Structure 1
Amino acid sequence: MGKGYRQGRLGEEIRKIVSELLLRELKDPGLSSMISVTAVEVTSDGSYATVYLSVLSTSGAENEQEEQQKALDAMNRAKGFIRNEIGRQVKLRHTPELIFKIDHSMEYGRHISKIIRDLDIDHEDEE
């Protein structure tokens, strides 16, 4: 297997654990909106894990960035607890330091789809 096989497996395990903690354990007022873990990237030496979060805004686009920032702040407050749970469940010699980031790929995908729709290209057969 390639070099990233272990990092990929570890990232997937961390994603599952953080998702489960978000669903059942974490009770923070900053986590009032719907949050999902879209991906986890682990560095090659396993010292850092970047956790990408997707925040579904419940109040509309005008407060979207504010809700994203609240979610990031809440996750950073719970970082020690989350890291402890990862270390307990995965049995690692060194638990990676967690870095939380907002995943903007959904917004980017909607933007690209809008651009394609705005082109107004007919999809007729050119025979």
Structure 2
Amino acid sequence: MGQYRLIRLGEQIKQEIATMLLRHEVKDPRVNEFLTINRVEVAGDLAYAKVYVSSFMDDKAVERGVEGLQSAAGFIQSCIAKKLSIYKFPKFTFIADFSMKEGYKMVQKLNALESERKSDE
């Protein structure tokens, strides 16, 4: 399958999972609407897809949410497979992604250094 098509499929899967989270279709109490799907990487043979999940909540809440999504992976796969027409549907693996929160912390540190430098002048 072409690389561009894999990227498009990943974006479609990302959109569908995000919609399911907003509509509260996943009934696991560990999963809430504050989880964000950052990206989806689909393998070239469509066997697997890595779904990266993040949030600005504390790290334990994100990990609990990822566990809830992983336990509901079969349900999520079946719901999305009904909407998308592809010959083979990937198996989802949900991964906690803390890069967004770490980037935000880095920007805060840079802003603090900038304001400190301005106050010294």
Alignment TM-score, normalising by the size of structure 2? 0.83
Q: Which runs of 5+ in 2 are unaligned?
A: none
- Greater shift after overlay, 39-48 or 7-16? 39-48
Q: Which amino acid counterpart does residue 87 of structure 2 have in structure 1?
A: R
Structure 2 CA distance, aligned partners of 1:32 and 1:82? 14
Aligned pairs for 1:1-127 (under 5 A) are: 3-24=2-23, 25-32=25-32, 34-57=34-57, 64-120=58-114, 121-122=117-118
Number of equivalent positions: 114
Normalised by the length of structure 1, the TM-score is: 0.79
For structure 1, the 5+ residue unaligned runs are 58-63, 123-127
CA distance in 2, matches of 1:81, 1:48: 16
| Equivalent residue letter for 1:56 | F
| Secondary structure in 1 matching 2:95 | strand
**1:75-110 CA-partner distances (Å, limit 9, x unpaired):** 011100011112111112111010111222221212
Runs of 4+ aligned residues of structure 1 deviating over 2 Å after TM superposition are: 117-122
